[in-house]
Structure 1
């Protein structure tokens, strides 16, 4: 069933093709509604591809909207014909995630300016936010200043959303993903062995898993700075105004530890700091350190069961990397 979305301002149909976006028509049709949404504070100038389309069939297009002076003001996400409902589903999951987080933690989740369909392809317009720097000089400083705030937010997420798993959900949500991972012949033996150990702990009652809100793709590229609050690197306020984007695969009843490990890898968090964060998350999950690995493996098993267009060899490499990262800090 196609996901439903909340009622949004109606925009005209926009003629669009996967391989050749009709940008002039897109600009013309979005100018008026975008200007209205922005309270006449900006007008629409150039619209162009934010990045080239990825060589995968279900990749959503991302368009950058600028004002006449060339300043970026918005980003348009548009589903591909292969998965025409993908952006609508993502916006619905974004709303559910923000609701689960509450007003304080949920401030990092952007609200769409517009939503609709383009000849059957769902789309959304989001306010433009500034990507983190790729400069070899700026990024280390930016990372050092921003990382504590992001990891503190993630700890708050686990504390706020951790819930006891209903007995009827233990088998499908945890045992089956672990079994999938343990039996996956393409997977490395150390990950399969870890999955078997987690299965035994679950069956023996030594581990009582928890659900948490799961972003599912938490890395540097999905952390942005709200450009309305960012001026210079030395501005102390900017560290408090980061946003997390791309909640397309988020799960309200998701898995713990996966987001933490992937974020730590992306931001190159040190082993001592990562161990401290894992211990903190374990406290909120009412589990010991051993079962931090169990939560992680259940998450990996679930992801493996729902790869869709994601290549299996890349999944195996990613899963083994996650296992190595958490094994390195077990002490």
Structure 2
């Protein structure tokens, strides 16, 4: 039985959400009217298998609840947000929203975060909004790369496993697979360095918002990785923001140098990131991933002005 949008389900969810809010704060700090907060459906995310349904709770909070088929999705995101805040520290952790409460309703996990304002909709309005936010977002991405860890043997093995997975994926273009093989050989020969760093994993404008005070907020941390890979978030953000090739080239140069390899850093880290996701597709369709991987690599090639296989 599908309980989404049924009155009984939503009332149960609302009651459990109010209880979670009370449990998360000292009783004296919780308004007596909390129990009267209305629950209003915002969106039912069917774009991914484990997408969460979003409700407005009162006027200042958003409640995200897992799909019945993936009841732990919200609980996983709560843990990922906590892990990422601890990893990022200040100031980079400023973009992660504070979880106001979390729990379960009829076995499905949920979390509650402050309500934020998404970027403007509409072709022209969204372009203007993207232009306004890009400086803050690109600065935050530099802060992430500055947190890259020192190379070690374990990291090298992780990179090699990810690159091997990418080179073995038959759905990908031969040139992309060959480029992954080239980076494996360079890594094994000590010509490039593997460095883990925090990675959001789905950084596009739909996951970029503004808090009520105007500060940047980033949502949807379910796919984030503390020991992640560089450049991938930058490429995804650049594609969504409509960043020019010249501006992206400048950013790539900065990130590659910060990662310790101005010549090969961008290629190595992007391909290893894609390989990581090739190893952890989960419910993500392989064909759809192949399209995404090709798009990311085409974006990088355009900015660098040369094919990856020739680097």
TM-score (normalised: structure 1): 0.83
CA distance in 1, matches of 2:127, 2:47: 31
Instruction: Give the corresponding residue for 1:17.
Output: 3
The answer to whether the 8 A contact 1:255-1:299 is kept is yes
Instruction: Give the corresponding residue for 1:186.
Output: 171
Instruction: Give the corresponding residue for 2:151.
Output: 165
Is it true that 1:293 corresponds to 2:267 in the alignment?
yes
The answer to whether the 8 A contact 1:289-1:330 is kept is no
Moved more, 52-61 or 264-273: 52-61
The answer to whether the 8 A contact 2:39-2:57 is kept is yes
- Of 238, 248, 255, 2:229 maps to 255
Distance apart, 1:258 and its partner CA? 0.4
Structure 2 vs 1, CA of residues 142 and 42 (structure 1 numbering), >3 Å: closer, same or farther?
A: farther
Instruction: Give the corresponding residue for 2:129.
Output: 142
Is it true that 1:58 corresponds to 2:50 in the alignment?
yes
Distance apart, 1:18 and its partner CA? 5.0
Instruction: Give the corresponding residue for 2:218.
Output: 244
Moved more, 309-318 or 26-35: 26-35
Distance apart, 1:20 and its partner CA? 4.0
Is it true that 1:107 corresponds to 2:94 in the alignment?
yes
1:59-78 matched pairs, under 5 angstroms: 59-66=51-58, 72-78=59-65
The answer to whether the 8 A contact 2:192-2:264 is kept is no
The answer to whether the 8 A contact 2:131-2:241 is kept is no
CA distance in 1, matches of 2:32, 2:129: 30
CA distance in 2, matches of 1:41, 1:244: 31
- Of 91, 95, 115, 2:78 maps to 91
Per-residue CA deviation, residues 207-258 of structure 1 (Å, 9 max, x unaligned), is 111101000011101111102x1xxxxxxxx3xx010111111111101110
Instruction: Give the corresponding residue for 1:309.
Output: 283
TM-score (normalised: structure 2): 0.89
Per-residue CA deviation, residues 69-90 of structure 1 (Å, 9 max, x unaligned), is xxx3111112233332221121
CA distance in 2, matches of 1:275, 1:313: 28
Structure 2 vs 1, CA of residues 31 and 176 (structure 1 numbering), >3 Å: closer, same or farther?
A: closer
Distance apart, 1:63 and its partner CA? 1.6
Per-residue CA deviation, residues 270-304 of structure 1 (Å, 9 max, x unaligned), is 01110111111112111123231111001001101
Structure 2 vs 1, CA of residues 197 and 20 (structure 1 numbering), >3 Å: closer, same or farther?
A: farther
- Of 291, 302, 323, 2:297 maps to 323
CA distance in 1, matches of 2:130, 2:97: 21
Is it true that 1:40 corresponds to 2:40 in the alignment?
no
Instruction: Give the corresponding residue for 2:241.
Output: 267
The answer to whether the 8 A contact 1:278-1:289 is kept is no
CA distance in 1, matches of 2:49, 2:129: 34
Aligned length: 298
Per-residue CA deviation, residues 139-186 of structure 1 (Å, 9 max, x unaligned), is 232222211111011111111x20023213322x11111111111111
CA distance in 1, matches of 2:299, 2:111: 36
Structure 1 unmatched runs, 5+: 1-15, 67-71, 230-237
Distance apart, 1:19 and its partner CA? 7.0
Instruction: Give the corresponding residue for 2:105.
Output: 118
